[in-house]
Amino acid sequence: MKPPPFAYECPTEVADAVALLAAHGADARPLAGGQSLVPLLNFRLVRPAVLVDLNRIAALAHVAVEDGTLRIGAMARQAAVEAAPAVARGWPILTEAVGHIAHPQIRNRGTVGGSLAHNDPAAELPAVMLALDAEMTARGPAGTRAIAAPDFFTDTMETALDADELLTGIAVPALPEGTGWSFREAARRQGDFALVAVCVLLRPASGGGLNARVVVTGTGNGPVRVPAAEAILAARGAAGDACEAAGAAAAEAVEPMDDPHAPAWYRRRLVAALTARASMEAATGMEA
């Protein structure tokens, strides 16, 4: 199939892109790496009257650390984040997660902002941004606003962005000293979307026990935190039986459905196994 006809705009400034979105509203779509949007166009699942190509906006392409915070422009390629030594040093769970997205050719074009704005329910980046307490910056005709990750990912392929808003950047706070991490994914083939993926962050709590963050994706409308699993790890630590219990609690908490890729019962088993393994792995990486 070929895409339906559309007008094409190629601004070089964020302000011009925002003005174009404001002028055309829901009839316009930003074009980032095109790795999700172009197939949607070709299958005629979306029919925007205007495409606003963001690829010439240099101000959106950065990957930089400022005052300990990782700042990623919405148009930073997934491959650029994967290759950035500063990301590998400070946010290794992000480097690991990006490596699970598709194949190098797709990561060379696909952008961080495009993945977050698209919010596929089995995508790696929304899950890891939720685990890392990232904050998204949106710019629209009324100005700029910050949206915390739990408020940003609202439903399957839905976000808090308005039709006339552009995601411009992502801020990821520094991981606290001593944090152990793990990203585990099961997919049918290397490069496929996750059947299930799990992010675990663990660090010793000041009064004893652990601070725990557990995020699961691939089991419903997108990434979810699993407070029941976090509570078990916080209270019992990350000994083997506590990790198994956290896995069982996570499997209980998610609500997968049968689909052509896997039955719900299989996804639940994956959640249990991956959460337990990720918890053990994160614990071994903790520093007192």
Which spans of this chain sit near ligand FAD (rule: CB under 6 A)?
Answer: 29-37, 54, 74, 101-102, 106, 110-111, 113-115, 117-118, 120, 123-125, 161, 166-167, 192-193
* Closer CB to ligand FAD, 72 or 123, in the complex: 123
Q: Shortest Cβ distance from residue 75 to ligand FAD (Å)?
A: 7
Q: Toward ligand FAD, which CB reaches closer, 6 or 237? A: 6
* Nearer of residues 154 and 211 to ligand FAD, judged by Cβ: 154
Contact (CB, 8 A) for 185 and 96: no
Residue 242 Cβ, how far from ligand FAD at the closest point, in Å?
30
Nearer to ligand FAD, 101 or 282 (CB): 101
Nearer to ligand FAD, 155 or 241 (CB): 155
Q: Based on CB atoms, which residue is closest to ligand FAD, 108 or 211?
A: 108
Least distance in Å: CB of 137 to ligand FAD? 10
> How far is it, in rounded angstroms, from Cα 107 to Cα 226?
29
| Whole-angstrom Cα Rg for the chain | 19
For residue 197, what are the CA distances in angstroms to 101, 127, 184, 203, 217? 11, 8, 6, 20, 5
Q: Nearest distance from residue 204's CB to ligand FAD, in Å?
A: 32
Q: Shortest distance, CB of residue 163 to ligand FAD, whole angstroms?
A: 9
Minimum Å distance from CB 261 to ligand FAD? Answer: 12
Smallest separation, CB 141 to ligand FAD (Å): 14
Q: Which is nearer to ligand FAD, 113 or 247 (CB)?
A: 113
